[in-house]
Homo-oligomer: A and B are copies of this chain.
Amino acid sequence: MRIAEIGAIEGNGSCRLSLTDEDKEARDLFRFWVTAAGCEVRVDNFGNIYAIRPGARDDLPAVLIGSHLDTQPHGGRFDGVLGVMAGLEIVRALNDAGIETEAPIAIVNWTNEEGVRFKPGLTGSCGFVGALPAGDESSISSSDGSRYYAELARIGYAGQDRPPQISTYFEMHIEQGPVLENAGATIGIVEGVQGVRWFEIDFLGQDAHAGTTPMNNRRDSFLAASRYALGFVERAMDIDPDVRVTFGRVEVEPNSTNTIPGRTRLVLDLRHIDEHVLDRVERLMADQGEPLKKLGFGFSINRIMNVRPASFNRDLKDAVEKVASSLSMPSLRLPSGAMHDASNLAAVVPSAMIFIPSRNGISHNPLEWSEPMHVGDGCEVLCRAVLEAAKA
């Protein structure tokens, strides 16, 4: 709640775009708190901040807990912040209880998870896992003319430190969907992150005058696209009801009230946790266009993005589930529909994510809310799983 005051916007939300003055203020406050909690602070080339609580054996790799402090332009109080603050809470609780772990525990704030001001998003965790070259301004584009590394220097976070070595990564996050709430579960054990494929689907008919062209003489690309979309969704659900199909962008041309639209583009966001299912749905996508071609429509599909599914570590998931069960907290396994820094980390170290419920499933919105009790439950489960990994 204190962090949310930095970059506060109407409706109780927050706007802290990466590497702005607001982001700097949140980072400074985080650094102040973790320093007060006895942590050593490091900042790496990408501006990621690590707060390290020493263990009994500092030759062991650390157990890393984290997420991000940046937000969407019209963001809420939980997305990202929760996972960083959970790390701080755990360190403070261990301090209060006088518990020493064998391995060090570290908290991380990854830079530019949201990808609003700079692309690609998940910048800091991409850098950490070696998926982005350090210091290369040309590999990161900006939406407002600013430059990533120049902005890092401006706000005082152009670091040179080595990240800590780590054995394990934990990220706690709000679900950003309604599944836990609907099921009455408090703890979500995230199976993995859905693969995402984006497609531009183009329907080419014939522009013509809305008044002079009889209905049976038309090739109306919008009606063709509508029929396609409805049929496709229905048949995709037959393949697997867990497939997620969204036509988020729709463009008709010439987009003039009295002209039959000759061209319609649908941009499709397709997600599932299983790559084979994605392949099957992608074949369906092409098949569904065949009848249109016979009717004289042009039809083409262009895949513009393909992010492969990620799986979290089986042992860590089992461990989290056991902890929740031992605390009598109702838990549920579910996929993550959204990308997270943990998707990157899972490629290099055993990783796990814990979800807590989001009220009405709303996120990326000032209305975003999670109950304090659920936040507390999530922290407790996370803390016990961390202690196990760090061998208290």
CB within 8 Å of B: which residues of A?
A: 175-179, 182, 194, 196, 198, 207-217, 220, 222-223, 225-227, 229-230, 233, 237, 241-250, 252, 255-261, 264, 267, 269, 271, 336-339, 361-365
Contact = CB atoms under 8 A, between A and B. Distances in A.
Q: Number of copies of this chain in the oligomer?
A: 2
Given A220-B246, A222-B247, A261-B250, A363 B212 contact: yes
A354 B249 CA distance: 43
A223 to B, nearest CB: 7
Contact of A248 (B257, B337, B338, B363): B257
A220 B268 CA distance: 13
A210 to B, nearest CB: 4
Contacts of A208: 177, 361-363
29 contacts: A176-B209, A178-B214, A194-B211, A196-B258, A198-B257, A208-B362, A209-B337, A210-B248, A211-B271, A212-B337, A212-B361, A212-B363, A213-B337, A215-B237, A216-B241, A220-B247, A222-B247, A223-B229, A223-B230, A226-B227, A226-B229, A227-B230, A230-B230, A246-B257, A246-B260, A248-B259, A249-B257, A250-B252, A250-B255
Contacts of A175: 212
Ordered nearest first, which 10 A-B pairs have the shortest CB separation? A211-B337, A177-B212, A226-B226, A212-B337, A210-B246, A176-B212, A210-B269, A248-B257, A211-B338, A250-B252
B247 A339 contact: no
A210 B249 CA distance: 12
Contacts of A225: 226
A227 to B, nearest CB: 6
Contacts of A255: 248-250
Given A182-B217, A208-B361, 13 more contacts: A176-B211, A176-B212, A207-B364, A209-B364, A210-B248, A211-B271, A215-B237, A223-B230, A225-B226, A227-B230, A248-B260, A249-B257, A250-B255
